[in-house]
Amino acid sequence: MRLKRQSYIKGAVIISLGGFISKVLGAVYRIPLTAVLGGKGMGIYQMVYPLYCILLTVSASGIPTGIARLISSGRGEGAEKSAFSLYGAVGLMGTALMYALSTPLAALQGEPAVALCCKMLCPSVFFVSALSVVRGYFQGRGNMYPTAFTEVGEQLIKVLLGVALASRFKGDLTRAVASTLFAVTLSEAVSTAAAVAFYLKNRPREPLFRQRYVPVKAILAYTVPLTLTAMAMPLSQLMESVVAVRLLRAGSADATALYGVYSGCAVTIVNLPVSVTYGLAASSVPQISPLAESGDLAAAKKKAYKALWLTFLVSAPAAAALYIFAPLAAKFVFGSLGEEHRALLVGLVRIMSPCAVTLSLVQTSSACLTALGKPALGTATQWISCILRVAAGAALIAFTPLGISGAAWAGNFANIVATVLNFCYIIRAGKRNENNSGRIGKRLGGLDPSGRQGA
């Protein structure tokens, strides 16, 4: 059975539901995982992810939206084939680099267990690269099912296998954490195989004429700015994992556990509603980009405003629920934490509850900027906000009695700045009457919408 294109709302619901189920599974996963690994184990678990996310960002993060933008514009037919070759190679290099950096990172963070954990996780970089190409291909065609299915599938495998392996090696904390990360690798491998099967079954038949190979530079024109955008967050998390833990150690012997409660627990809970609004961001690209490509920026911006308004309507009640039900969420999801750490978690979730709105709006507005042909503006916003986040967090931890709560307050401030900047960029888009169609046509090497060489 071939997958059919969905409407904006239906597509948003499908991908949001998949993302939400995935995040819920991830949050539920933390219940037994925290019980087995404890605060220190969760801290080690989170200390591995910044490097992983940086490499994943380079090899995969800009692909879904970038490929979706090219394909939905009508000028990037066949772009996924070029992307497979390009990002498959990049993914392999990322895997090798993570393996090579595993020991130096462990030394830098002062946690020897990080080395083995990185080695167990590093193959995932390659698998996610290939998986992201397929997701972008289908998103560009308005089909959100493959993204939703693979997100839920990979999370199910990670949860079931991760808990089983962590329990099997719970007597050895290093091996227990490393085994949960190996479960992540296996989940990505299975999801990639399923996604490729979706693609092979649903790709269109080759045309009678010889289709022109979409140049790599056309793909990079969109994926590089998106990659640079996504790199800002894991880089800031890496810096935060080093700076925050070292600063916290000046006043607490429990610094790794405190960082684990913040990054591994509080951020997980706050990101649940943000995952719901991801569908609105992803579905907005194929709706907005054809209008922007045709030069009808007024209609394109109208679609963007609608997506932002829907994002706010979904995220605002979620933020209020996070604040009100923070104690219940902390008890249900992370009930195995000690009383002191659970009280800290409740405070962190309440401080960060506005992030459910601001992060959702930043996510959707960045997708809208890409669809409008302005991905570089989203890149600038993300870097500015992440630099502010790390700097403000370090200052609040070092010079105030807030401790790890300073990182949470810094996140609120940075996300507000990012939201305002993206809104201003969208409002100003098209004020100079730029000819987006002509510029994008040059990037694609003169291809007409059918993918053939123009006259």
pLDDT band at 231 (very low <50, low <70, confident <90, very high): confident
Q: Could you read off the pLDDT of 267-320 as tens digits, one per residue?
A: 888 888 887 777 777 667 767 877 777 777 888 888 888 889 988 998 999 999
**For residues 116-128, average pLDDT:** 91
pLDDT computed for residue 211 by the predictor: 52
Q: What is the pLDDT of residue 358?
A: 94
Backbone angles phi, psi at 250, to 5 degrees: -70, -25
Percent of the chain at pLDDT > 70 equals 79
Q: Which residues pair with 453 in a beta bridge?
A: 447
- Quick: pLDDT tens for 208-219: 444 555 666 667
In a domain, 338, yes or no: yes
Q: What is the mean pLDDT of the chain?
A: 79
In a domain, 108, yes or no: yes
- H/E run at residue 413: helix 405-428
Within a domain: 269: yes
Looking at residue 65, its pLDDT comes to 65
Q: What is the pLDDT of residue 454?
A: 35
Burial of 24 by CB count in 10 Å (0-12 exposed, 13-18 middle, 19+ buried)?
middle
25 is a domain residue? yes
How many structural domains is the chain composed of? 1
Residue 421 in this model has a pLDDT that exceeds 50: yes
Which pairs with CB-CB distance under 8 Å and at least 24 residues apart come from 299-302?
Answer: 300/371, 300/372, 301/372, 301/426, 301/429, 301/430
Q: 450 in a domain, yes or no?
A: no
Note the pLDDT of residue 449. 32
Quote the domain boundaries for residue 38.
Answer: 8-201+214-443
Q: ∠ at Cα 48 (156, 97), nearest 5°? A: 105
Whether 208 is in a domain gets the answer: no
Q: Mean pLDDT across the stretch 184-207?
A: 81
* Residue 62 forms part of a structural domain: yes
CA distance 97 to 80: 25
The whole-model pTM stands at 0.65
pLDDT tens track for 313-370: 989 999 999 999 989 888 877 776 778 888 889 999 999 999 999 999 998 898 888 7
Long-range residue pairs from 345-351, CB within 8 A, at least 24 positions apart, any chain? 345/261, 345/265, 345/266, 347/405, 348/261, 348/262, 348/265, 348/266, 348/404, 348/405, 348/408, 349/266, 349/269, 349/270, 349/322, 349/323, 350/322, 350/323, 350/326, 351/405, 351/408, 351/409, 351/412
Residue 452 lies in a domain: no
User: Helix, strand, or coil here: 447?
Assistant: strand
